[in-house]
Amino acid sequence: MAPHATGPAPELGPYTAPQPPVHPTAERRDTVVLVDSDRTTYTEEHITAKFTYRGAQVTREGGDIKVTPTKEEFEFRTKRKVPKLGIMIIGLGGNNGSTFTATILANKNHVTWYTKEGIQVPDYVGSVLRASTVRLGTDPGTGKDFHLPVCDLLPMVHPNDITIGGWDISSLPLDEAMRRAEVLPYDLQRQLVPLMRGIKPLPSVYYPSFIAANQGERADNVIPGLSKRDHLDHLRKDIREFKVANNLDQVIVFWSANTERYSAIIPGVNDTKEALLASIDASHPEVSPSTLFGVAAVLEGVPYINGAPQNTFVPGLIQLAESRRAFIAGDDLKSGQTKMKSVLAEFLVNAGIKPLSIASYNHLGNNDGYNLSAEPQFKSKEISKSSVVDDMVAANHLLYKPAAQMAKESGDPKAKPEHPDHIIVIKYVPAVGDSKRALDEYYSRILMGGRSTISIMNECEDSLLATPLIMDLCLLAELLTRVQYRTTPEEEFMPLYSVLSLLSYMLKAPLVKPGTEVVNALSRQRSALEQFLKACLGLDNSGDLLLETRTW
């Protein structure tokens, strides 16, 4: 018998066989959608499209329901030139930030790696824009549906062209941050080290009261001093310098750092834009790091997206964004368990089945889970995850009694509407690392008082689901900065409203225009996004009616 080998394993050299083809989700295409219609025009600078927005106003008159169809004419104008885009990630050295950077660099440099299944090529699987399609219409030659990648509908930035930078309270360069995260396979990490070694996070804002105390050991890369006004000026300078140094046309700032505790909404502190700016000058303790970054982005005129569950967008920050016509979006990435919930709860309620309770348990071992082991930070996550079924429940008064009926039956004028019991548990289990386990039970009432139980066990690699969402949110936000609209030919074109609610598909607790309803149902969120992109081309979204298959 041959003796066992001793000493270190030999260094593996790079694979030298012919390179596999580029994955379809990472391909570059010169596709241009040309709409042959007098309602859509093309110039070198713009795509301009007229769109009729149809709706209905509904009132109850005695025992009758009166429906009045409405329509409003819109004209959308989209800039065709794709800018040079930079993304500044807050929490750049975290699991999501390092995985996002590694993914972009692997695709840009076509880094291939070996696993036990063989050679792997980089991709953007999991991206709605790059890895899903939209139905455009019917091919007259075959009679079959014609589908197109979502990213080919309108001119969009290719992710390989993104410039990445950002901040982190940890000073580790990104090659070491990638190793610490333990998300990507070794052979891929080994080849990415030279590409990531030179990327170092900028010092970040660190206010210990907003995140778990266990994060203090990582905080060796913080902006000095206690003045929040000085910190704001520092962040604004970072954004400007990043844009100039990389010759960028547009920058997007994305919060992917630790979940913060909720900020208290205090009159005179953060309830108006004037109060918020004054509170920053006074270094008020309820101005959170995520809100401070949001103010910096708004004042610099760049979009700001919150990928965590805390209430970053206090009323004062929303007002500030509105006054500056700056773009904001949030809150909290909707990647695994919550996305399933927004599908399954919608399915059950729409099927006439009444969920009585939804119990969600999950455990994870990455730094996100470590931070969430503190009660205030867990509370932020619990709130964002618990509201995901609210609009679906409220839409069906046959299954769930509205507040007025509950008040009448109970005699309590403040009674809340009927709602399923909704329990959420999150535990930190270091051994599972980034591979999060989620267990859900849906306990429902069915016909004649019967009961139904659906149980789901979901295992997902958290950062590999989150990374495509970060990319989609940033690329869509950039696109929406190039879309303007007007409702009469006499008007000047205007930017969209500051809160980018069209990004709701990727977010657990979507931020919407004050006074409007939140939509959590995944199918409605996806439909709204598709319809808007088509509207920018002057296309109606009536194809799913398929009248040609239902008429003579």
Q: How far is Cα 317 from Cα 289, in angstroms, rounded to an integer?
A: 13
Region of poorest pLDDT, from 3-17, 312-326, 498-512: 3-17
For residue 163, the cross-strand partners are: 86
User: Could you tell me the CA-to-CA distances from 406 to 396, 397, 410 in Å, in that order?
Assistant: 14, 11, 6
Query: For residues 40, 42, 48 and 53, what is the CA-based torsion angle, rounded to 10 degrees?
Result: 20
Q: Are 534 and 483 in contact (CB under 8 A)?
A: no
Helix (H, G, I), strand (E, B) or coil at 360: strand
Catalytically annotated residue among 243, 339, 381, 385: 381
**Surface-to-core class of residue 516, CB atoms within 10 Å of its CB (0-12 exposed, 13-18 middle, 19+ buried):** exposed
Percent of the chain with pLDDT over 90: 69
* Separation between Cα atoms, residue 242 and residue 492, nearest integer Å: 32
Would the CA dihedral through 310, 128, 497, 517 be positive or negative?
A: negative
Q: Please give the C-alpha separations between residue 231 and each of 218, 223, 290, 304, 315, in angstroms, as whole numbers.
A: 19, 7, 12, 17, 21
Residue 41 binned pLDDT confidence (cut-offs 50, 70, 90):
very high
pLDDT average, residue stretch 168-194: 96
Residue range 71-84, pLDDT digits in tens: 999 999 999 999 99
Quick one: tokens of 369? 């889970």
3-state secondary structure 224-239: CCCCHHHHHHHHHHHH
Give tens-digit pLDDT for 371-387.
777 677 767 666 666 67
Which residues are registered as beta bridge partners of 305? 254, 329
- Name beta bridge partners: 134: 148
What's the confidence (pLDDT) of residue 381?
63
pLDDT at residue 539 is higher than 70: yes
3-state secondary structure of 327: coil
Tokens of 550: 């239902």
**Rounded distance, CA 152 to CA 129, Å?**
8
At 198 the pLDDT is 92
pLDDT at 7 over 60: no
* CA 393 – CA 387 distance, rounded (Å): 10
Q: Residue 455 and residue 333: Cα distance in Å, rounded?
A: 23
Residue-level pLDDT at 462:
86
What's the confidence (pLDDT) of residue 31?
86
How does DSSP assign 366-432, residue by residue? SHHHHHHTSHHHHHHHHHHHHGGGHHHHHT-TTTS--HHHHHHHHS-TTPPPP--EEEEEEEE-GGG
381 a catalytic residue: yes
| Structure tokens belonging to residue 524 | 């409605």
205-215 pLDDT, tens digit per residue, is 999 999 888 88
b vs e for 402-433, b when ≥16 Cβ sit within 10 Å of the residue's Cβ?
A: eeeebbeeeeeeebebbebebebebebeeebb
- The CATH number of the domain covering residues in 85-333+465-535: 3.40.50.720
The segment(s) of the chain belonging to CATH 3.30.360.10 are 337-462
Q: What angle do CA 288, 293, 295 make, to 5 degrees?
A: 95
In this predicted structure, what is the pLDDT of residue 10? Answer: 47
pLDDT at site 382: 66
341: annotated active-site residue = no
Q: Which two tokens stand for residue 316?
A: 């004062």
| CA atoms within 13 Å, Cβ hemisphere of 384 | 32
Q: What is the rounded average pLDDT of the residues 154-173? A: 98
| 50 in catalytic set | no
pLDDT digits (tens, 9 = 90+) for 383-421: 666 677 888 888 899 999 988 999 888 899 989 899 999
Q: What does pLDDT average to over the chain?
A: 91
Buried b (16+ CB within 10 A) or exposed e, 148-177: ebbbbbbbbbbbbebbbbbbbbbbbbbbbb
Mean pLDDT comparison of 240-249, 374-383, 431-440, 537-546, highest-scoring range:
240-249
Q: How confident is the model at residue 37 (pLDDT cuts 50, 70, 90)?
A: very high
Task: Give the Cβ contact number of residue 97 at 10 Å.
Answer: 29
CA pair distance 15, 187, nearest whole angstrom? 10
CA proximity to 300, closest of 255, 228, 231, 240: 240
Q: For residues 89 and 164, is the Cβ–Cβ distance under 8 A?
A: yes
Q: Using a pLDDT cut of 70, give the percent of the chain over it.
A: 95
pLDDT of residue 426: 85
In the structure, what pLDDT confidence band is assigned to residue 16 with cuts at 50, 70 and 90? very low
Specify the DSSP element, H or E, that contains 316: helix 315-324
Total length of the chain = 552
Q: Output the pLDDT for position 105.
A: 97
| Torsion angles phi and psi, residue 220, rounded to 5 | -115, 20
Is 508 catalytic? The answer is: yes
**Cβ contact 206:169 at 8 Å:** yes
Among residues 228, 334, 354, 436, the one annotated as catalytic is: 436
Domain with CATH 3.40.50.720 in the chain: 85-333+465-535
Give the model confidence (pLDDT) of 328-378 as tens digits: 998 889 887 788 888 899 999 999 999 999 998 988 888 777 777 767 776
Give the per-residue pLDDT at 390: 84
DSSP state of 222: B
Q: Tell which CATH architecture fits domain 337-462.
A: 2-Layer Sandwich (3.30)
